[in-house]
Structure 1
Amino acid sequence: MIKVSDALMSFRNMVLPEPVFDFWCAELGLLSRRQAAVARAVKVVSETPNTVSIWLKPNANFVGVLPGQHVNVGIEIDGHRFQRSYSVSGVRGRCFRITARKVANGKVSSYLNQYAQRGMRFSLGEVYGDVTVNSFAQKPALFLAGGIGITPIISMLESWSQTMRHQPVQLVYWGKTTQDLVFIERLKNLAQKHSWFELKILETQFLERNADGTPRLLAETSAWFQELKGRLTDFEAFACGSDGFVDQIRERFSPLVNTFQFESFSPLLVAAEAGVPIQVRLTKQNRTVTVPSGVNLLNALERAGVAVSSGCRRGTCNTCSCNKISGITQHQGDRSINEAMASGFKPCTQSALSDISLEM
């Protein structure tokens, strides 16, 4: 007797249109798609009380990802599709791991921490990121991680643990407490196993404070720092964490190393109070929605029921970019105001100050 799934695969290119083929593959729990890249969760691990790791097995349409890169991942929640960008925290053959820390009001991170399970299906989008395992393959590396910023770094370290690496790697890892640090036991095991890897852990709750109350991540008088900075001239440095973390670290370490690269995961802040109603004309959809002025435009559009493809949500991956036809907008980072038409307009970094039209 022929199975339904076997019959469906036989007629893949002969009979069924792509939407029909993809629909029935999804209904039957198959990863096959005509063109779309999708994945199934094959393992779920609770790393800390508010952090979960998910190993994903992609279908043949996925281009693949290197340790250190990011991938846009989509999931359906309550009938709505959401897309987020995650650093890959591990790669094994075609499978890869993403790690999500629960954040306040985070729709996707909260859902994954509560409901992620084997068999859960995800859509896969763009893979991006220039800092990869290959960037430091033949060079001494200094990694500086704050909190969940460890994710791209652990993927590179685990990849190197399977090779005959000779160049030294120094990791300094900051977290509020050791209980908050993800992959801490795995990192300690790597440090014990490999002579090329050194690990320094700093708990920020015990550090001195800056005038604004934030932890002073690095004291010039620290004995470990004095010892470390004397041997960093030839090192390639990479920092990953929040905006505030990266700003402090870059100021201290950038002059000491050969090159300094960084990535930040901090989302742009959404204004606490809504402003006056703004009309957003979406020309491709032939519809107009109302959003408040002065708030993050991507978030506002999603709240208004508009499905917007997005990934990093901070202007890096270009997934949400579109053409702005008219209207006054303000960049939420540097606060610059723009009244001109714009291609490559990124709603995740902008707020609307007047009625606007978007080619969306």
Structure 2
Amino acid sequence: MSAKPRPPSSRRNPVSPRHWVSEELFDFWAGRLHPLWTLRRARARLVAREPASADAVTLVLRPNRHFRGLQPGQHITLGVDVDGRRLSRSYSPTPLADGTLAITVKAIEGGKVSQQLAQRAVVGDTFELGQAFGEMTLAPRAGQRLLLLAAGSGITPMRALLRQLDAAGMPAQVDLVYWARRREELCFAEELAALSARHPNLRVQLALTRDPSAPSPRVDAFAFDALGDLTNAQVLVCGPGGFVDAARARLHGQVAALQSEAFTPPVLPDAETGTVQVELRRSGRTLALPRGTSLLQALEAEGLRPASGCRMGICNTCVCGKASGVTRHTLTGEYADEPATQVKLCVNSASTDLILEL
């Protein structure tokens, strides 16, 4: 009796390089021939750069075939080599018609990755590219009422969403309010003005909080009543943690739904002080880490480099096991004391002594 043949999906292909060479070795030598050739990993090459504002630059990246694409409003994690170390940061790209991705990077004082990308990255540089993540996306439909609120770099996902709506004929009534300190810090101002001129149902307001002639109110004092009835509005908010918190408080109970993403964690008003003992079970180390500081930041301050990505609790790259102890969520202030659970290092701090699977 003949053996039953294996299904095609289970047959090994002896010609495939993954069966006779390690992925790391293949990527090393293939990369010598072409910087985007890898066995499985998504990578991207910088093909163009242009200024976006006084302190920001837009980089156009061409991903390799292993990148699975993204929806407007989602994020990707970019791996950048800085001083011999690979660091990861999250950005919200605008997908372009030719398959490239445009990311806009604001140079932050002391920010190693932002300084590298905004000031020193040159055409031809290559980067590790994570697959897309995030749920602040839209399915454009007629009759929608949308309110988009952005501050600083938070305009980048809004730009991608507006381009998606533009391609769909702007079926929704959309208001965008975009906060910046000064006019020269605005990104995409001309593009936003052109979109608004093309679509009567898109209104764009630029709120300049440090305009010397007429400073605009911040989000907590903004006159949302002037935008009309927001009872049925879907609101999307992106910006620093304090901005997102203020927007949520300001619009609580006044809109149908509110989604938000903060690219800096808010500061808890009653943050705990002192230190606790954190045992890293796999490495056999015990560290005294500060309470009230995210575990990711505290571990990095000790010279460790845990895997990380978005640094805002979305992508799950920094998740690790917690064997025991109490953590505090830096975004909500909630405590978690369950043993043998998973914890996101970027948005949790140690409240008591901990044992982590690191």
TM-score by length of 1: 0.82
Shift of 1:249: 2.6
Distance 1:27 1:290 in 2: 41
Matched, 1:322 2:320: yes
Q: Which residue of 2 aligns with 1:228?
A: 227
Q: Which residue of 2 aligns with 1:60?
A: 65
Shift of 1:161: 2.7
Cα gap change, 1:267/1:110 in structure 2, threshold over 3 Å: closer, same or farther? farther
Distance 2:161 2:53 in 1: 21
Distance 1:297 1:106 in 2: 19
Cα gap change, 1:299/1:133 in structure 2, threshold over 3 Å: closer, same or farther? same
Q: Which residue of 2 aligns with 1:143?
A: 148
Q: Superposed, which structure 2 residues align to 1:1-360 within 5 Å?
A: 12=17, 15-134=20-139, 139-205=144-210, 206-207=214-215, 215=218, 217-220=220-223, 225-230=224-229, 232-267=230-265, 276=275, 278-283=277-282, 286-288=283-285, 290-294=287-291, 295-352=293-350, 356-360=354-358
SS across alignment from 2:39: coil
- Read off the aligned partner of 1:293 and give its amino acid letter: P
- Read off the aligned partner of 1:200 and give its amino acid letter: Q
Distance 2:332 2:225 in 1: 35
Q: Which residue of 2 aligns with 1:7?
A: none
Distance 1:334 1:226 in 2: 28
Cα gap change, 1:331/1:263 in structure 2, threshold over 3 Å: closer, same or farther? closer
Report Cα offsets for 1:261-297 as digits up to 9, x if no partner.
Answer: 22222235599999558453241xx342635332332
Distance 2:351 2:226 in 1: 51
Report Cα offsets for 1:118-142 as digits up to 9, x if no partner.
Answer: 1121112242122224256762322
TM-score by length of 2: 0.82
Whether contact under 8 Å (1:52, 1:113) holds in the other structure is yes
Gaps of 5+ in 2: 1-14
Report Cα offsets for 1:241-276 as digits up to 9, x if no partner.
Answer: 223222333344454443322222223559999955
Whether contact under 8 Å (1:144, 1:173) holds in the other structure is yes
Out of 143-152 and 246-255, give the one that drifted further: 246-255
Distance 1:41 1:289 in 2: 41
SS across alignment from 2:52: strand
Cα gap change, 1:13/1:322 in structure 2, threshold over 3 Å: closer, same or farther? closer
SS across alignment from 1:61: coil
Cα gap change, 1:268/1:103 in structure 2, threshold over 3 Å: closer, same or farther? farther
Shift of 1:218: 3.3
Distance 2:338 2:231 in 1: 45
Distance 1:258 1:276 in 2: 42
Shift of 1:25: 2.3
Superposed CA RMSD in Å reads 3.0
Whether contact under 8 Å (1:293, 1:352) holds in the other structure is yes
Out of 322-331 and 48-57, give the one that drifted further: 322-331
Whether contact under 8 Å (2:147, 2:236) holds in the other structure is yes
Distance 2:107 2:288 in 1: 27
SS across alignment from 1:246: helix
Report Cα offsets for 1:288-329 as digits up to 9, x if no partner.
Answer: 263533233212323333332211212222110010123454
Whether contact under 8 Å (2:140, 2:168) holds in the other structure is no
Distance 2:273 2:231 in 1: 49
Q: Which residue of 1 aligns with 2:3?
A: none
Distance 1:141 1:127 in 2: 23
Gaps of 5+ in 1: 1-9, 210-214
Out of 253-262 and 321-330, give the one that drifted further: 253-262
Whether contact under 8 Å (1:172, 1:200) holds in the other structure is yes
Aligned residues: percent identity? 34
Whether contact under 8 Å (1:237, 1:259) holds in the other structure is yes
SS across alignment from 1:118: coil
SS across alignment from 1:310: coil
Out of 267-276 and 313-322, give the one that drifted further: 267-276
Q: Which residue of 2 aligns with 1:3?
A: none
Whether contact under 8 Å (1:136, 1:236) holds in the other structure is no
Distance 1:259 1:333 in 2: 19
- Read off the aligned partner of 2:135 and give its amino acid letter: D
Cα gap change, 1:164/1:61 in structure 2, threshold over 3 Å: closer, same or farther? same
Distance 1:197 1:343 in 2: 45
Whether contact under 8 Å (2:78, 2:130) holds in the other structure is yes
